Structure 1
Amino acid sequence: MAIDEVFSALAEPTRRRIVEALKSEPKAVGSLVTELEISQPTVSKHLKVLREANLVSMTAAGQRRIYSVDTEAVETLVGWCADILPAPEPSAVSVDVEHRQEQDELTAATPATQQLGRSVGRGLEQVTERAQEFFDKLPRFGRRR
């Protein structure tokens, strides 16, 4: 999957609306047509583009096609965004030590597992913060709120 396909797919406001509608739960094409007030051929056309970009996946349920968000492309996009952002200042990464200690006591895991969990948690916090910084810098395309 090329990152260009993901950006192209998300460049169209209708496709972003479809992804937004699917983020809470999988839905059939008919439900999307009703919810978004878009014709069935238009929804199907956009779902095809989203599927080709690996942003949504489809499962058959008899005659119905149920679509859901596929996080693989989103994870690739977030990773790409994190790679282009400058590294955060060491003081910008906050670690809630007391909360982590409580979690460690609750899980009663081995020291090696606890260390791995802390490392993964810190890495995830850094990526999330960097991705949020990146998205905050982007213009809000097609958002009406």
Structure 2
Amino acid sequence: MVNEDVFTVLAEQTRREILAALRDGDKAVGELVDELGASQPTVSKHLRVLREAGLVTMRAEGQRRYYKLETAPLNGISQWLDGFGLPSTRPLLVEGPATEPSAALAVAENELSIPEGDPESMPQQIGRSVGRAATKAADLLANLPKFGRRKES
């Protein structure tokens, strides 16, 4: 999948919310509908787009459809963003199943340096750093050109 296609897919807020909901593991469509507070047709439409972009996979169990987050396209974006030299303390995503948070935690523990000073303020420092990184990523995504649209004269 080309980065531009993934960026286009991620431009929609509902799709980003679905991906965030799937970070904790596989979920059925009904669970996503309840969690997001959106209609079933809306969630299904966005899941189809995410599946076509390779960001999620689906498995059927009887009448239920379960969706799983696929990190490979997001890792491609992470690598692309690394080319901008933004400061980072750890990789944004770790290869492997989304249901293995211990792998991401192990990477974070090995690569996170503890600053000198008051240990009680460290969670606040980390929170501010994460907030700044999220803001920069959101600004970058918001300022990407809109692909596939014609300019009207």
TM bucket, shorter chain: 0.5 to 0.7
Matched, 1:138 2:144: no
- Deviating above 4 A after TM superposition, structure 1's stretches of 4 or more consecutive aligned residues are 132-136
Flag structure 1 segments of 5+ consecutive residues without an equivalent. 94-120, 126-131
Q: TM-score normalised to the size of structure 2?
A: 0.58
Matched, 1:23 2:23: yes
Who wins on radius of gyration, i.e. which is larger?
Answer: 1
**1:48-87 superposed matches below 5 A:** 48-83=48-83, 85-86=84-85
**1:3-42 superposed matches below 5 A:** 3-42=3-42
- Structure 1 residue 64: Cα displacement: 1.0
- Structure 1 residue 139: Cα displacement: 3.5
Q: Which amino acid aligns with 2:64?
A: R
1:11-46 CA distances to partner (integer Å, 9 max, x unpaired)?
Answer: 100111111111101100011111111111100000
Q: TM-score normalised to the size of structure 1?
A: 0.61
Percent sequence identity is 47
Q: For 2:85 and 2:44, locate their aligned partners in 1 and report how far apart those are by CA, in whole Å.
A: 39
Q: Which amino acid aligns with 1:14?
A: T
CA RMSD, Structure 1 to Structure 2 (Å): 2.9
- C-alpha change, 1:87 and 1:27, in structure 2 (3 Å) is closer
Q: Is the 8 A contact 1:81 1:134 kept in 2?
A: no
- C-alpha change, 1:135 and 1:36, in structure 2 (3 Å) is closer
Compare the two structures and name the one with the higher helix fraction. 1
Q: For 2:25 and 2:86, locate their aligned partners in 1 and report how far apart those are by CA, in whole Å.
A: 34
